[in-house]
Structure 1
């Protein structure tokens, strides 16, 4: 009876090592699978039989568990901004009609409907953005660019300039004349301002020295309606006062006083614009007049030209008018136990009772991880380690086969006793 038991013990070893070879083969076959997590076979002994005297005899081996190794894989740089990798132990969230899944494979792209999907068409989940704040709205859903193909224009509300006005200049011989501004000023600079329809209008600021440490400034916008601020007939006029060290100490009208500009093209009227000439920044030094900086906050209507994704998972739209707008934030999921996740094929995982429910958040949350764009996480399979395991598993399989053949020879010896 004991010899027969030895044969069954050997069979258990063959079965277990055969399954272990399947795990190793699966690891090696997925050495180039994006986001793949390798597995390992864990063995345990079978409950032993007790014989006389309280001694125990083993009954072979059994498969205890196949564990997944969720260690970080290395990163591969790619040319696609929608290729994403996670630095950390979180997962991307994807969904189709069958349900929600989790993955480390971030080879995503926008489909024909402008929805971010994985290669099998599962929709990548993210959060919408609250307009004006740029913060996540906490509502999970597909990342769909359909509503973001263009961005509306914005009318100019603020114009800021920082210049140096040459202190060696003298007052022009002719008094200020808006119909001949170049000849009656010392220096000028121009920039475009935008109305509510996105039309660009050229605004030119003229600077005229009136006395030591004193200048006038005038703004003319030829497109402005006659008789309204900024027009040739009614320029925007003000003064600048400098200290003896060349610093601008005051401007009138003040930077907080809006100039109500009117355009006769159907745009919003009046259009209040604040002109900030740089008190504390603009200077009057004995060097050539020059513009250090000039900005305005309006822009024309723009179309979406490309999409970028930053390390906090924000999906940013880059528009033809130079604007960068947050559109979505990629969602990430963490689990209490990654080992409890169930593989679903296609580099996907499903939650189980053993994994616990997902804790959904984003890469802006501390401890969740960081998202890398233009990157893919490679398989974490160690080829050298797998080949070593393959050798030891093969040896184990061969050794167990010897147990069976030896037990068979022992039975043959027993049968030979009758001869």
Structure 2
């Protein structure tokens, strides 16, 4: 009886965690570049009652959380018309860096560096392409992207990640970064990335055994969309369905506890 009660408690805890994951997904349904999470359960230890028979006699002791995984499937695109708003048309991440940390040329995962799919970038007063948090966007050589407003009247970002500027003297358009493009990184295991906050990810040992080289858009075999943003990949229909499953699972496990309590009450009443 006590085993069933503790099994019910473990089930309620797990479904509460599932509801927490679902709630976070729904809260970020309109967050740019957000990737939803899913949760998996696994059986907890089993208690051996006897090994004397042909088959072992075991009683399970409940369940526990096996993993909470981030699903890096692409989200839908939203057109903004702002040239510095970028989206990746395939796999990969942009690389950004804290401006207070020295740059590590060509290497992702260095100090102060993060990966992101949120491309709502702007150009700050210094001419640097930055995120909403003020982090510098890095190019394919791990350098911050700078657009000198004194040299160029305007600029555009092509699908292959090059920055094309219109010189102030009225000359022909030139490539601002030369052969360099917006930097793209493709981790071996995107699910191993750790969420840092602000739609940023940091590398872990599970994402890649070593540092990642920042490459060009062409190296990543992808394209960059200018004037559009990647929205969240959360599907509300799926999330609300999972919420119903979690709610019923929670109720069923609470019923186990109630039933176990009633049986214990009957045992206590035997003394009367």
TM-score of the aligned structures, taking structure 1 as reference length? 0.59
Q: CA deviation at 1:149?
A: 2.2
8 A Cα contact 1:334 1:368, kept in partner: no
* Structure 2: 5+ residue stretches without partners: 102-111
Is residue 394 of structure 1 aligned with residue 247 of structure 2?
Answer: yes
Which residue of 228, 236, 246 maps to 1:375? 228
Which structure features the higher share of helix residues?
2
Of structures 1 and 2, the one scoring higher in RCO (CA 8 A, sep 6+) is 2
| Counterpart in the other structure of 1:361 | 215
Which protein shows a greater Rg?
1
**How big is the alpha-carbon RMSD for the aligned residues of Structure 1 and Structure 2?**
1.2
Q: Deviations over 1:238-280 (max 9, x none)?
A: xxxxxxxxxxxxxxxxxxxxxxxxxxxxxxxxxxxxxxxxxxx
1:15-414 map, 5 Å: 15-52=13-50, 53=53, 54-96=56-98, 97=100, 99-127=112-140, 139-146=141-148, 149-150=150-151, 304-320=152-168, 321-328=170-177, 329-356=181-208, 357-365=211-219, 367-414=220-267
Question: How far apart in 2 are the matches of 1:8 and 1:369?
Answer: 51
8 A Cα contact 1:335 1:359, kept in partner: no
Q: CA deviation at 1:318?
A: 1.5
8 A Cα contact 1:313 1:371, kept in partner: yes
Q: CA deviation at 1:144?
A: 1.3
Q: CA deviation at 1:322?
A: 4.5
TM-score of the aligned structures, taking structure 2 as reference length? 0.89
* Structure 1: 5+ residue stretches without partners: 128-138, 151-303
| Counterpart in the other structure of 2:8 | 10
Q: CA deviation at 1:358?
A: 2.4
Q: Deviations over 1:196-246 (max 9, x none)?
A: xxxxxxxxxxxxxxxxxxxxxxxxxxxxxxxxxxxxxxxxxxxxxxxxxxx
Which structure features the higher share of strand residues?
1
| Counterpart in the other structure of 2:107 | none
Question: How far apart in 2 are the matches of 1:381 and 1:334?
Answer: 22
4+ runs deviating over 2 angstroms: none
